[in-house]
Amino acid sequence: MESISQDEENYVRMSLLLTGIAPRAVRKCFENEFAPASLDVSLNKEYNKLRDMKEERRINQSQWNLLFPRRPAKIKETLKAWKDTDDKMFIETRAAQQVLKCIQENSCVTITASSGVGKTATLRHVALQMAENKYDVLPVTFPDDILKFYNPNNMSKKTMFIVDDLCGNYSFNQGEINIWEPIIDHLKMVLESKLTKIIVACRLQVYNDEKFECLSLFKSCVCNILSKDICLSETEKQAIAKLYLKEKTSDISQYYDLYDCFPLLCKLYHDNPELEVTDFFQNPFSVYETEIDKLLKKGYHAKYCALALCVFFNNNVNEEMLMEKVNEETRTIIEHICEACKLNRGTSRTILLDELDSLTHTFIKKKKKRLQDDPW
């Protein structure tokens, strides 16, 4: 058998190192420091397929933990940040008291409201209070995380799972509903222990979406912090203004009730004190502009189109316009608006009506049978 020369052997070694060993080693090193930007998105998108593979034992527990790692240190760090940063800028409200009462008396509670009202702040504040009552508080993203952390053999351990922006932040996310729906019955069984609780925050336009109806667990006990009984009182708004605006509080006292997102406006002004305070609180269009732009950028074209209809029709859209036969001119206008909003010209008008309904009390106000833009 002929032997290869030293140069040839060195070439083979170098080739193996460059094409076989080095890429894996370098990738492992770099990904420990800089995870691929799209990795979480890709994993979340294929979550159901990966879970099926795990159930079929094509993925073992060790591999699953690499894909969706348990991070107790990260959870501890998150809770510390909530306590040291968020909770120091939180004013106790009747909404927070009601949410705390509900989660003490029920196994599952949903906090809902439109953007900027204080859902997340209330969620975190109540979570920290439950932690003081000896609950292990675990922020999670997927229902499988709940099943993973739940220990049926430890009947003395109290656990509360926290989910923020359930099923979407700017609009209803069908992908997330597909993850939650198959496991709802299993979650109900987990909650039967009475030592396990789930508290979630959910945007009102997501909660109002008809497709949310299948998640009955999250409709069992609901705290809408915009409702008359627990919405921010004038005293609470004044306390929030004093915390964030200090000596400028008196400058905006007449603007407390202009917008539901008053807490967000206070925080934004606190972070941008160079703004003219009265102008900002009277016309915070930048806040709504950002929200609406994100609807388009994230692909929620039907909701964006529904809002565009309100603007085009002078802030008044009669429901009959989207339910009954209309004249040629109106039909053509609706088709052109659909096309401009990246929808098919033949998009059903009832779809647009459903989208408008889901935006009620957030971007839209309904008066009798007319729908009007809220901020304008």
pTM of the predicted protein model:
0.67
- In order along its 376 residues, the chain shows pLDDT tens digits of 567 777 777 777 777 766 666 556 555 555 555 555 556 666 666 767 777 787 777 877 667 767 766 566 678 888 888 998 889 999 999 999 999 999 999 999 999 998 889 999 999 999 999 999 989 999 988 888 888 788 776 667 889 999 998 988 766 778 888 889 888 998 998 898 888 999 999 998 889 888 888 898 999 999 999 999 999 999 999 999 999 999 999 999 999 988 888 998 998 888 888 888 998 888 877 777 777 887 888 788 888 898 888 888 877 788 888 888 888 888 898 999 999 888 898 898 888 888 888 777 667 777 655 554 554 3
User: Measuring CA to CA, how many Å separate 174 from each of 97, 279, 357, 363?
Assistant: 32, 39, 18, 21
Residue 231: name the closest of 250, 203, 259 by CA.
259
pLDDT for position 141: 83
Closest CA to 338 of 304, 370, 315, 376: 304
φ/ψ of 285, rounded to 5, equals -65, -25
3-state secondary structure (DSSP) of residue 371: strand
Residue 28 three-state SS: helix
Strand order of the β-sheet with 108-113 is 136-139, 159-163, 196-203, 108-113, 222-224
Q: Which amino acid is at 253?
A: S
- Give the strands of the sheet with 364-367, arranged side by side: 317-318, 370-373, 364-367
Q: How far is CA 318 from the centre of its chain?
A: 30
Please answer whether residues 191 and 218 qualify as being in contact, where contact means their C-beta atoms are separated by less than 8 angstroms.
Answer: no
Two tokens at 190? 């987990």
Can you read off the two tokens belonging to residue 154?
A: 């430890």
Q: Give me the pLDDT at residue 221, please.
A: 96
Please check whether residue 203 is in contact with residue 218, taking contact to mean a CB–CB distance below 8 angstroms.
no
In 3D space, the residue among 376, 121, 372, 91 whose CA is nearest the CA of residue 259 turns out to be 376
Q: For position 97, what pLDDT does the model report?
A: 97
| Gyration radius of the chain over CA positions | 26
Q: Note the CATH number of domain 72-224.
A: 3.40.50.300
Domain ranges across the chain = 72-224, 234-287, 300-373
Give me the DSSP letters along 35-60.
Answer: --TTHHHHHHHTHHHHHHHHHTTSS-
